[in-house]
Amino acid sequence: MKRLRQALSRFPEMGRQTDEMPIPGMLRFVMGSYLVDYEVGEEEVVILKMRHGRQRPPGVEIEDDFDYEDDASHDRDGP
């Protein structure tokens, strides 16, 4: 985790986008055997998911009417 934190703080855009990503702008970085999905904010990097590469990807349901780019949807303190 320490290496990951250091790498993302120095090079936040080092991940890549793939067709698997349900959220536009979400990036994936491979560190060792782990896949790290994250997004880059204005002042922070938010790790959304981390899993071992041998694990099956979780099924992610995409809500057609949800605004994934709305800043209010990222509010961690609630509505």
On the question of pLDDT at 74 being above 60, the answer is: no
Domain 2-70 has CATH 3.30.720.200: no
On the question of pLDDT at 72 being above 80, the answer is: no
pLDDT value for 76: 52
Q: What letter does residue 31 receive in the DSSP assignment?
A: E
Neighbours of 48 (CB within 10 A): 14
Q: What is the mean pLDDT of residues 13-29?
A: 83
What is the C-alpha to C-alpha distance for residues 11 and 13, in angstroms, rounded to an integer?
6
pTM surpassing 0.75? no
Domain residue spans in the chain? 2-70
Q: What is the mean pLDDT of residues 16-44?
A: 86
